[in-house]
C-alpha cells in the first residue's frame, strides 16, 4: 500500500449562521451552544447545491495538485446527504469536471473520508489507478430537525477533497471498524409510495436523531483506542506524531481524547468553531486549511481518525509529502 497526497481543496457555503441567529427560533443561546460544543457558527447552503460545493472543492484540489480532470483515474466521494439518491454524487462531480473515469460514492457517515481514502488506496495498490480524487461532500442541513436544539445546532455544510497519486510513504497504518449500533445515530430512509406495500404506521421523517451520551462515550473510548493501537502496531509513539486530525463533532470529545492520551492541544486540529460538524468533510476540510496555512511540512506524520453513525470508526496514519497548496 502506498500513495501520496498531492493536492487539497475545499468549499463552504456563503451563508454564515451564528448561534445568536439560531436562538431567534430555538430555545437556546450562544453561551449554551459554545460551552457545550465549541461551535460559534456554521455554514449553511441557501443558494448553493451540494453539487456546487463538491465541484468547487474538487477543482481546488486539482489545481493544488497541478493536474486536470482528464488526469484522474478514479473519483470516490464520501457522502450521506447527496443531491441525488442516484446517480452517485461522484458521477455528478465527474460530469461537471468533464472526467470520464470510474466514479462512485461511499456511505460511512462521519468516518467516510477515511473509508474512501482506503478504497482509493486499494485501486492504486492494484494498479487500477494512478491518480484519484477522494472527495467528501455533505449537506447536513437537509437532514436536520430544525426544531431540535440538541442536534441542529451541531451541523453545517461543506465539501473537501484530496488528490492522491500512486507511490509514496502513506499510509503507515490504516484500520476500519464497525461496532454496530444503528439507533445511536439514525436518519430513516425515504418511505416510498409502493401500492404493494403493507399499510405501515406513519413513516418516520427522514431527519437525524442522536443519542448524544452514547455517541460521546463511543467517540472518546474508540478514538482513544484507535490511537493507542496505532502507536502499538506501528511503533511510532503518539508523542512523535506531528499532527492529529480527529472528526470535528464536539470540542468536548476532542478535549477528552487529549486528556486520556496526554496529547498536546497544539498538535490536534480544531476548526469546528466556524464550521460545526460537517460529517465526513471534517477531516479533509481541516487538512486543506492546514495545508494552505503552511502548517504541514513534508515528512511530517498526520493521524486521521473519523467516527460516526454505524457506529463506525476509521483511522489512518499518513506521511505528509505535499507542499503548501
| Average pLDDT of span 1-17 | 94
Query: Does position 296 have pLDDT exceeding 60, yes or no?
Result: yes
pLDDT given for residue 43 in this prediction = 98
| Residue finishing a domain among 130, 148, 166 | 166
Same-domain check for residues 90 and 9: yes
Same-domain check for residues 123 and 204: no
Which residues fall within 8 angstroms of residue 253, CB to CB, at 6 or more apart? 216, 219, 220, 223, 246
Q: Which tens digit of pLDDT belongs to each residue from 63-119?
A: 999 999 999 999 999 999 999 999 999 999 999 999 999 999 999 999 999 999 999
- C-alpha grid cell, residue 325: 497548496
| Residue finishing a domain among 166, 186, 216 | 166
| Residue 325 forms part of a structural domain | no
**CATH at residue 212:** 3.40.47.10
Query: Does position 220 have pLDDT exceeding 80, yes or no?
Result: yes
Q: How many domains does the chain have?
A: 2
Same-domain check for residues 154 and 271: no
Angle at 11 between CA 173 and CA 178, to 5 degrees: 35
Q: What is the pTM of this model?
A: 0.95
Same-domain check for residues 97 and 33: yes
| Residue 178 forms part of a structural domain | yes
Same-domain check for residues 141 and 177: no
pLDDT given for residue 146 in this prediction = 96
Query: Does position 136 have pLDDT exceeding 90, yes or no?
Result: yes
d(CA 29, CA 116) in angstroms, rounded, equals: 36
- Hey, which residues does 75 pair with through a beta bridge? 103, 133
| Residue owning grid cell 474538487 | 58
Range of the domain at 193: 173-319
Percent of the chain scoring above 70 in pLDDT? 97
Query: Does position 302 have pLDDT exceeding 70, yes or no?
Result: yes
- C-alpha grid cell, residue 246: 480527529
d(CA 282, CA 4) in angstroms, rounded, equals: 20
Same-domain check for residues 159 and 291: no
Asked if the peptide bond before residue 311 counts as cis, ω within 30 degrees of 0, the response is: yes
Specify whether the CB–CB gap between 96 and 113 falls below 8 A: no
β-strand pairing of 74-78 with 131-139: parallel
pLDDT given for residue 325 in this prediction = 47
- Is residue 5 classed as helix, strand or coil in its secondary structure? strand
Specify whether the CB–CB gap between 313 and 306 falls below 8 A: yes
Same-domain check for residues 117 and 260: no
- Hey, which residues does 104 pair with through a beta bridge? 76
Same-domain check for residues 149 and 229: no
End-to-end alpha carbon distance in the chain: 24
Query: Does position 281 have pLDDT exceeding 60, yes or no?
Result: yes
- Helix (H) / strand (E) element for 243: namely strand 243-246
Specify whether the CB–CB gap between 158 and 275 falls below 8 A: yes
Specify whether the CB–CB gap between 80 and 138 falls below 8 A: yes
| Residue 290 forms part of a structural domain | yes
β-strand pairing of 310-319 with 301-308: antiparallel
Query: Does position 323 have pLDDT exceeding 80, yes or no?
Result: no
| Residue 196 forms part of a structural domain | yes
pLDDT given for residue 324 in this prediction = 45
d(CA 173, CA 230) in angstroms, rounded, equals: 7
Same-domain check for residues 17 and 153: yes
Specify whether the CB–CB gap between 257 and 305 falls below 8 A: no
Q: Pick from 123, 133, 122, 160: which is nearest to 72 by CA?
A: 133
Same-domain check for residues 183 and 162: no
| Residue 21 forms part of a structural domain | yes
Please identify every residue annotated as catalytic.
110, 247, 277
Q: Cα-flanking dihedrals φ and ψ of residue 274, to 5°? A: -110, -5
Same-domain check for residues 60 and 205: no
Query: Does position 287 have pLDDT exceeding 60, yes or no?
Result: yes
- Hey, which residues does 186 pair with through a beta bridge? 209
d(CA 317, CA 304) in angstroms, rounded, equals: 6
Same-domain check for residues 17 and 110: yes
| Residue finishing a domain among 117, 138, 166 | 166
| Average pLDDT of span 139-158 | 96
Amino acid at each position: 500500500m502506498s500513495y501520496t497526497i498531492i493536492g487539497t481543496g475545499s468549499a463552504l457555503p456563503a451563508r454564515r449562521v451564528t448561534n445568536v441567529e439560531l436562538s431567534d427560533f430555538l430555545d437556546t443561546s450562544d453561551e449554551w451552544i459554545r460551552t457545550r460544543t465549541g461551535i460559534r457558527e456554521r455554514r449553511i447552503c441557501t443558494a448553493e447545491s451540494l453539487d456546487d460545493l463538491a465541484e468547487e472543492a474538487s477543482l481546488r484540489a486539482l489545481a493544488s495538485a497541478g493536474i486536470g480532470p482528464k488526469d484522474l483515474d478514479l473519483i470516490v466521494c464520501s457522502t450521506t446527504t447527496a443531491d441525488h439518491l442516484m446517480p452517485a454524487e461522484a458521477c455528478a462531480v465527474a460530469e461537471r469536471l468533464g472526467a470520464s473515469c470510474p466514479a462512485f460514492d461511499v456511505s460511512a457517515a462521519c468516518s467516510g473520508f477515511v473509508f474512501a481514502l482506503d478504497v482509493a488506496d486499494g485501486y492504486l495498490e492494484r494498479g487500477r489507478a494512478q491518480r484519484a480524487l477522494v472527495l467528501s461532500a455533505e449537506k447536513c442541513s437537509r437532514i436536520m430537525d430544525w426544531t431540535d436544539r440538541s442536534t441542529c445546532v451541531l451541523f453545517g455544510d461543506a465539501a473537501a477533497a484530496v488528490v492522491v497519486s500512486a507511490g509514496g510513504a502513506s499510509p503507515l497504518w490504516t484500520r476500519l471498524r464497525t461496532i454496530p449500533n444503528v439507533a445511536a445515530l439514525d436518519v430513516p430512509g425515504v418511505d416510498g409510495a409502493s401500492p404493494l406495500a403493507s399499510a405501515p404506521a406513519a413513516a418516520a421523517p427522514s431527519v437525524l436523531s442522536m443519542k448524544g451520551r452514547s455517541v460521546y462515550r463511543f467517540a472518546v473510548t474508540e478514538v482513544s483506542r484507535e490511537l493507542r493501537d496505532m502507536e502499538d502496531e506501528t511503533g511510532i509513539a503518539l508523542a512523535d506524531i506531528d499532527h492529529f486530525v480527529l472528526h470535528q463533532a464536539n470540542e468536548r470529545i476532542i478535549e477528552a481524547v487529549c486528556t486520556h492520551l496526554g496529547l498536546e492541544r497544539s498538535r490536534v486540529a480544531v476548526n469546528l468553531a466556524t464550521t460545526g460538524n460537517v460529517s465526513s468533510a471534517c477531516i479533509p476540510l481541516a487538512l486543506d486549511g492546514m495545508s494552505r496555512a503552511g502548517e504541514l511540512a513534508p515528512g511530517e506524520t498526520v493521524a486521521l481518525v473519523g467516527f460516526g453513525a454505524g457506529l463506525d470508526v476509521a483511522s489512518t496514519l499518513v506521511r505528509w509529502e505535499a507542499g503548501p497548496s
